[in-house]
Structure 1
Amino acid sequence: MQSPLFAYTEVQTQDRYALQNGQLLRVALTGQDDVLARKGAMVAYQGLMEFDGEYRSSGQRRARAHTGEGLDLMRVSGQGTVYLANLAQYVHVVDVDRDGLTVDSAYVLAMDSTLHHEVVAVDSQYGISGTGKYQLIITGTGKVALMTSGQPLMMRVTPDTYVSADADAIVAWSSSLRVQMQAQTYSSPVRRRRGSTGEGWELSFLGQGFALVQPSEMMPPQGAEIGAGMAAQFGMGQHGAHGQNRGNAWS
């Protein structure tokens, strides 16, 4: 059999994490170094591998129930190679250092099992109930694989140059940064969007570090609804995240 498909062979590398291509992650395991991956993210594997549900502490369960933020993970162990992907999202491997990484859990594909993660709150400067944003802070030393809808933009934040990003487009940032959440509006009811621009909540970052932004304010198909109106804008309905996207319908 002959086909151009045979050009898409396995990546030959000694690295633990390697991109098979821009949308497929290859993780090599030696039997002593488990990896935590997004549930259902395995697309193929070689060798003797085991997949187990990852235990969540009572604190993590309470945080998930209260905030909706958290990771649904499986533990991958054994000797061999596992390939991970999620809805053909672009994959990026990040080294987490002592400063830590703050990230939206929706964009985490995999991470070293030695890393620690917990839910933190990014509060609205207006102090309005329900307008804050919850994220995950990942600490320790290791690697985490993030996903974006399209090729992202990495923005440097310095004391002289602060960065603002749409709250639905920001993927991750250095945990050392100071963060403020605000609404772009001139009207007294801050829930109302600014004029007819469609711009709403944004995060402003100050300090020294980086902010990662994707070229999308939603993550299809979990976070998007075909059509127009409020349901489409906020990921409601059959195809939206709040509708659980039953049957992975996207047609």
Structure 2
Amino acid sequence: MQSPLFNYADQQSQERYALQNPQLLRVSLTGHDDILARKGSMVAYQGAIDFDGEYQSTSQRNASARTGEGLDLMRCSGQGTIYFANLAQYVHLVDVDHEGLTVDSAYVLALDSALHTEVIAVDSQYGISGSGKYQLNITGRGKVAMMTSGQPLMMQVTPEKYVSVDADAVVAWSTQLRVQMQAQTHASSIVRRRGNTGEGWELSFTGNGFALVQPSEVMPPQNAQIGEGLRGQFGNSGQNQNNSWN
């Protein structure tokens, strides 16, 4: 059998983490280097690999119940090669070191099991209940594979140049940055996340580091309200759960 499809055969690499292509992650395991990955993200594997879907530390379980933020992970161990992907999003590898990484858990594909994660809150300057944003702090030494919808923009933050980004488009930033959540619209209309401008909350960064932004916003559904459970998240009757606009 012949086909151009054979040009997409698996790529050989000596690296533990490597990109098979921009939207597919390849991870090699040697038997003593477990990784954690998003549940359901495995698309193929070779070798003797064990997937533990019940993995979750007590602190992660408590944080997820309290805030709704957290990684729903599986532990991958054994010897072989695993391929991960999620909705054909672009995959990016980051080396985490002493600086640390703060990231929205929705954009984490896989990470070294030795890394430490902790849920943190970014509060609104207006003190409006339900308007804060929870993120994950990742510290230690190791690799994280993140995802973006489309090719991202990396913005450098310096004491002379602060950066503001849409809270629905930001993916990650340097942990040491100072960050404040604020409204892009006048105070009279901020209860509705996007007011009259089509914009909503933004994160303002100061200090030294970077902020990673994707060219896609996680838009709130039609008629969504803050602090109203499923109705608040998805609009009337829990519809528009997948950002499906009528």
In 2, distance between residues paired with 1:15 and 1:138? Answer: 22
Instruction: Determine if contact 2:167/2:201 at 8 Å carries over to the other structure.
Output: yes
In 2, distance between residues paired with 1:217 and 1:152? Answer: 12
Change (3 A) 1:183 1:39: same
Q: Which amino acid aligns with 1:230?
A: N
Change (3 A) 1:117 1:193: closer
Match of 2:41 in 1: 41
Change (3 A) 1:74 1:186: same
Question: Match of 2:188, SS?
Answer: coil
In 2, distance between residues paired with 1:72 and 1:28? Answer: 21
Q: Which amino acid aligns with 2:169?
A: A
Identity of aligned residues (%): 73
Instruction: Determine if contact 1:185/1:192 at 8 Å carries over to the other structure.
Output: no
Q: Deviations over 1:185-244 (max 9, x none)?
A: 2243532456632111000000000100000112xxxx786xxx336x965545525xxx
Instruction: Determine if contact 1:50/1:76 at 8 Å carries over to the other structure.
Output: yes
Instruction: Determine if contact 2:100/2:139 at 8 Å carries over to the other structure.
Output: yes
Q: Which amino acid aligns with 2:13?
A: T
Match of 1:115 in 2: 115
In 2, distance between residues paired with 1:80 and 1:239? Answer: 40
Match of 2:76 in 1: 76
Show structure 1 runs of 5+ residues with no match.
Answer: none
Runs of 4+ in structure 1 over 6 Å off:
none
Match of 2:229 in 1: none
Aligned length: 236
In 1, distance between residues paired with 2:53 and 2:2? Answer: 40
**TM-score, L = length of structure 1:** 0.88
RMSD in angstroms over aligned alpha carbons? 2.2
Q: CA deviation at 1:17?
A: 0.5
In 2, distance between residues paired with 1:73 and 1:27? Answer: 16
In 1, distance between residues paired with 2:68 and 2:214? Answer: 21
Q: Deviations over 1:119-178 (max 9, x none)?
A: 000011112221110000000000000011111101100110111011010000000000
Q: CA deviation at 1:60?
A: 2.0
Show structure 2 runs of 5+ residues with no match.
Answer: 225-231
Alignment counterpart, residue 230 of structure 1, candidates 223, 226, 244: 223
In 2, distance between residues paired with 1:58 and 1:163? Answer: 35
Greater mean deviation of Cα atoms: 195-204 or 185-194: 185-194
